[in-house]
Chain A
Amino acid sequence: MNSFIQNIIISIVVLLALIYLFRKQLWRSVKDKKNCGNGGCGC
């Protein structure tokens, strides 16, 4: 696989992971953590 394409794929995956972490987890955990609290959720 072309090195450029590899870097593009990896960048997209990392971007998605970062968006997930900051928008869905860190940001929401402060605002409204609805599905938390059932044990083992890592809280």
Chain B
Amino acid sequence: MGKQLNVALIGNPNTGKTSVFNALTGLNQKVGNYPGVTVDKKQGVCKLSRGVKANILDLPGTYSLNASSLDENVVIELLLNKNDKDYPDVALIISDVETLKRNLLLFTQIKDLKIPTILVINMSDLMRRKGIALDIELLEEKLHTKIALVSTRKNNGMEGLKQLIENYKTISIEPCLDTTIIDEDYFKSLQKAFPNQDIYKLWLVITQDANFGKISRQELDISRFKTKSNQELKHLQQKEAIKRYQFINGVLNKAQTIDRSKATGLRSKLDRLLIHKVWGYVIFFLILLGIFQAVYDWATLPMDIIDSSFASLAEWVKVSFPGGGKVTDLIAEGIISGIGGVVIFIPQIAFLFLFISILEESGYMSRVVFLMDRVMRRFGLSGKSVVPLISGTACAIPAVMATRNIENWKERLITILVVPFTTCAARLPVYLIIIALVIPDNSVMGLSYQALTLMGLYLIGFGMAIFSAYILDRILKTKHKTFFVVEMPNYKLPLIKNVLITVIEKTKTFVLEAGKIILAISIVLWVMASYGPGDKFNNAESYVNKNSTFQSNYELNDQIAAFKLEHSYIGIVGKTIEPLIRPLGYDWKVGIGLVASFAAREVFVGTLATIYSVGSASEDEETIKTRMENETYEDGTKVFTLASGISLLLFYAFAMQCMSTLAIVRRETKSWKWPILQLTGMTAIAYICALIAFQTLK
């Protein structure tokens, strides 16, 4: 087995850390969690020469080693714990060429921990355009390090970086700053109390939050040393930052020249427009409109192909293996329909994440966050609530966890409670099938009604989140506001590789995670739909024959299939709740979908696919959409009309149908009170809105 190195990627947020990680590891990466906390842990492998492998760990972005959030704690915990299996042999500090000064604060802190540290200056291709010149040799000498100038966009400098990683032992571990200059008396007495310990490490342990101090404080037995008050420690931390910036300024004055006259002012011009108090919102709205239109236009063809392919496959299985009996039916109607219900949404989900990823990569998403902060404040939310609300469009779980950086408890609680209103990816399949059924496929000024409806649903979800926050703010009486700080990264052309990795990762997660649940539920539902108690289910043929006036075999078989479904186990469940949902415009089959999707809403489409497959004896290759379109009540009226469709869309927009989100809310609030309130409140809102919509539109 070859030699293995541990390499940690550390840097401020938005410096291109993930781009460097992707460039080093390609697709050899996996995402996990740090033990005890729910911060993403991204690891990957980079092959160096002579069989040496580097385990690359992409640590959460941090501005300094003075932690104020759980994400930052993860970085410090690792760097202070030499026994950690991921403790780095070498640290790569990723800095953006334009924000070198700010990044060097973190660099000097890590360097002072005596870890071999390489300074990676990313986006070096922009140096000339920004009028920046660096004396690399002088920087290396002053900072006692090796520097790699890279451009992940142009794929420059990566080989040089790999060589530096391989030769990490040649890098000096001499610290940048003599820690004692912060406060001579204090640090000398500290050193005296712990002569065998590294003084800067000790200082970090003393000043950091007790959250991670539980490991290191015990090891170091800090009680032997009489430390200062919290206020005095904070003062010393400020003094440390000043000393470090004095050192950094001294270095950069000699090694860096910036000629602003050579820099182009594109960023400021774009910012003036994109975060303008009127045009900013107009542009954001137009971008959203374009995205939803493209999602619809581009995904239609592959979706149609997938839909008809699965219908053909199910039919082929039935025709080719008639001797299999019920097992063949299980494969054709349960498993293939279930898988088809997942796979069909891959094109739209992939396209949506493609656009979201492009917006994030280009730096525009930070402008959106800034723009929306103005709106948020009026509704009692923190500016920091914008990030969870926007990330909630992917999944409510990380969004709820992203509220951890909101310091004020009540603002955080409100954000947690309203985040599930934003349209997550799991709602998308439900929206898409219902929209396709009830919204006409026409367009106005080149914009399809279907795309506009989808966009409307996203806006309704967001609007309801803000409205609920406003109400909760009045009830919970939030008094303290937090400050909102967001960094505006430079605009840049999105890296195709990064965008594609995001799209592949998100789509893969949807197919594998949601897909497995949908498939399992589809199988259970098929059995519940194919078996039933009592005489009516077992002797369905004779019951139908007795009352039937149909002539053809096809019509008769269809009647038998429908009769059996009605008297199957699942039919009984659907029929039981029908009185409750009939005022909303749903029949008992939709009711089955609603019950099944209370654990996870994306199950709805798979459930209907299974139910309508079982309930049809058609020999034709009918798609799920066609079957749902043709579904009628006993009096011949259609089940899926504009009124019932809008009612169903609103129900799914507002109902809390995700057990995992409830579990995470329980964990974050440490109480069952809030998830129960969330479940009942959201379900009540969903029911009332759906009821009003159906009764008004019918």
A residues with CB within 8 A of B: 1, 3, 6-7, 9-10, 13-14, 17-18, 20-21, 25-26, 29-30, 33-43
Contact = CB atoms under 8 A, between A and B. Distances in A.
Contact of A39 (B509, B601, B603, B663): B509
A25 B517 contact: yes
Given A14-B527, A33-B663, 17 more contacts: A6-B325, A25-B517, A30-B659, A35-B32, A37-B401, A38-B394, A38-B395, A38-B398, A39-B353, A39-B398, A39-B425, A39-B509, A40-B394, A40-B425, A42-B510, A43-B658, A43-B660
Interface stretch (B483-491, B518-526, B609-617, B689-697): B518-526
Contact of A10 (B323, B326, B401, B666): B326
A41 B397 contact: yes
Interface residues of B, number: 50
A36 B506 CA distance: 11
A38 B505 contact: yes
Contacts of B40: 37
A39 B661 CA distance: 12
Interface in B562-577: none
A43 B397 CA distance: 6
SS of A interface (majority): helix
A34 to B, nearest CB: 5
B516 interface: yes
B38 A41 contact: no
Contacts of B38: 37
B397 A37 contact: yes
B424 interface: yes
Interface of B: 31-33, 38, 40, 323-327, 330, 349, 353, 394-398, 401, 424-426, 505-507, 509-510, 513-514, 516-521, 523-524, 527, 599-603, 658-661, 663-664, 666
B403 to A, nearest CB: 13
Contacts of A20: 516, 520
A25 B602 CA distance: 14
B426 A38 contact: no
A38 B527 contact: no
A42 B324 contact: no
Contact of B513 (A7, A21, A42): A42
A25 B512 CA distance: 13
Which of A3, A10, A18, A39 gathers the greatest number of chain B CB atoms within 10 Å? A39
Given A37-B395, A39-B425, A10 B330 contact: yes
Given A1-B325, A9-B327, A42-B514, A26 B523 contact: no
Contacts of B330: 9-10, 13
Contacts of B396: 43
A41 B509 contact: yes
A43 B661 contact: yes
A9 B396 CA distance: 38
8 contacts: A17-B524, A25-B516, A36-B397, A38-B505, A38-B506, A40-B506, A42-B510, A42-B514
Given A1-B325, A6-B325, A6-B327, A39 B395 contact: yes
Contacts of A36: 395, 397, 513, 660, 664
A26 B661 CA distance: 12
A34 B33 CA distance: 7
Given A33-B664, A38-B505, A21 B514 contact: no
A40 B600 contact: no
Nearest to A8: B327
Contact of B510 (A1, A21, A41): A41
A38 B509 contact: yes
A27 B238 CA distance: 47
A20 B516 CA distance: 9
Contacts of A10: 326-327, 330, 527
B513 A35 contact: yes
Contacts of B327: 1, 6, 9-10
Contacts of A37: 38, 40, 395, 397-398, 401
B395 A40 contact: yes
A40 B514 contact: yes
A36 B31 CA distance: 10
Q: Across chains A and B, which 8 residue pairs bring their CB atoms closest together, nearest first? A: A39-B394, A40-B510, A42-B514, A40-B425, A43-B660, A17-B520, A37-B398, A41-B513
A8 B397 CA distance: 39
Given A9-B327, A40-B506, A21 B395 contact: no
B398 A21 contact: no
Contacts of B426: 40-43
A42 B510 CA distance: 7
Contacts of B523: 13-14, 17
Contacts of B600: 42-43
A7 B507 CA distance: 35
Contacts of A26: 599, 659
A7 B326 contact: yes
B663 to A, nearest CB: 5
Nearest to B513: A41
A42 B430 CA distance: 12
A21 B517 contact: yes
Nearest to A41: B513
A14 B401 CA distance: 34
A1 B324 CA distance: 5
Contact of B395 (A3, A17, A34, A41): A41
Nearest to A21: B520
